[in-house]
């Protein structure tokens, strides 16, 4: 009798599990069919109404007004002890009076990790300028024989210091800026973009 009860118990469990699986499959099939019906009916499938459900279109707006460009702009750029500027691009408009502030956010003295900001004239070779700046310590690493290739520059500053300069933005175009402290120009440089007025 014991053996029969064990086999009967196994049979009941088997039938119960199969019934549960069958019920779950039917429920899943029913949900899938219901989902398809809802999806198809939401697409608007056979409605022959000529009434539009689109939102009314707005009338065309006049062209954007021309915004006057300020005669001056203030820019700020930071340099750190890891030989990095915090900006790779600065934008101005031709003819603007630019006030640029360079902040050295590091702690090292200028003799060890000095930074300056030099804006080069269009067409100046950055590598040639940077290489010649190494021998120009007495003039803040701005070679005096290459001043015709420089639009503006700051003095060299050390950690915790800042310096500002003011100059007129050159004609529209793309220019390069860099730190000319020895060994820095290769990684500390960016684009100075001048838009037309």
pLDDT digits (tens, 9 = 90+) for 75-89: 999 999 999 999 999
pLDDT at 53 over 70: no
pLDDT number for residue 46? 44
Asked if 141 contacts 83 with a C-beta cutoff of 8 angstroms, the reply is no
Q: Which residues pair with 89 in a beta bridge?
A: 191
pLDDT at 180 over 80: yes
CA distances from residue 14 to 4, 7, 8 in whole angstroms, order as listed: 15, 10, 10
Asked if 86 contacts 179 with a C-beta cutoff of 8 angstroms, the reply is no
Cα gap 156→140, rounded to integer Å:
6
Min mean pLDDT across 35-39, 118-122, 164-168 is at 35-39
Cα gap 186→197, rounded to integer Å:
32
pLDDT one-digit tens code per residue, 89-133: 999 999 999 999 999 999 999 999 999 999 999 999 999 999 999
Cα gap 81→112, rounded to integer Å:
10
**pTM beyond 0.75, yes or no:** no
Asked if 109 contacts 119 with a C-beta cutoff of 8 angstroms, the reply is no
pLDDT number for residue 146? 97
153 half-sphere exposure, CB direction, 13 A CA radius: 25
Q: Which residues pair with 99 in a beta bridge?
A: 74, 166
pLDDT number for residue 70? 79
Q: Which residues contact 86 (CB under 8 A, 6 or more apart)?
A: 77, 78, 79, 80, 105
What are the φ/ψ torsions at residue 42 (nearest 5 degrees)? -75, -15
CA distances from residue 147 to 36, 120, 124, 127, 150 in whole angstroms, order as listed: 75, 9, 11, 15, 5
Which is more confident, 36 or 126?
Answer: 126
pLDDT number for residue 157? 98
pLDDT number for residue 11? 42
pLDDT one-digit tens code per residue, 135-145: 999 999 999 99
């Amino acid at each position: 009798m014991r053996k029969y009860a064990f086999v009967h118990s196994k049979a009941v469990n088997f039938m119960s599990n199969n019934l549960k699986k069958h019920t779950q499959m039917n429920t899943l099939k029913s949900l899938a069919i219901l989902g398809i019906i809802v999806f198809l009916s939401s697409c608007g499938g056979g409605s022959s109404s000529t009434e539009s459900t689109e939102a009314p279109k707005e009338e065309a707006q006049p062209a954007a007004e021309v915004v006057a460009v300020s005669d001056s702009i203030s820019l700020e750029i930071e340099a750190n002890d890891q030989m990095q500027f915090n900006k790779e691009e600065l934008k101005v408009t031709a003819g603007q009076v630019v006030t640029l502030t360079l902040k050295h956010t590091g702690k090292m003295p200028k003799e060890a990790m000095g930074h300056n900001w030099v804006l080069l004239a269009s067409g100046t070779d950055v590598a040639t300028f940077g290489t010649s700046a190494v021998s120009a310590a007495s003039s803040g690493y701005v070679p005096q024989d290459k001043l015709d290739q420089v639009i503006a520059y700051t003095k060299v500053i050390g950690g915790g210091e800042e310096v500002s300069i003011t100059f007129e933005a050159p004609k529209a175009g793309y220019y390069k800026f860099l730190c000319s402290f020895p060994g820095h120009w290769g990684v500390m440089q960016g684009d100075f973009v001048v838009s037309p007025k």
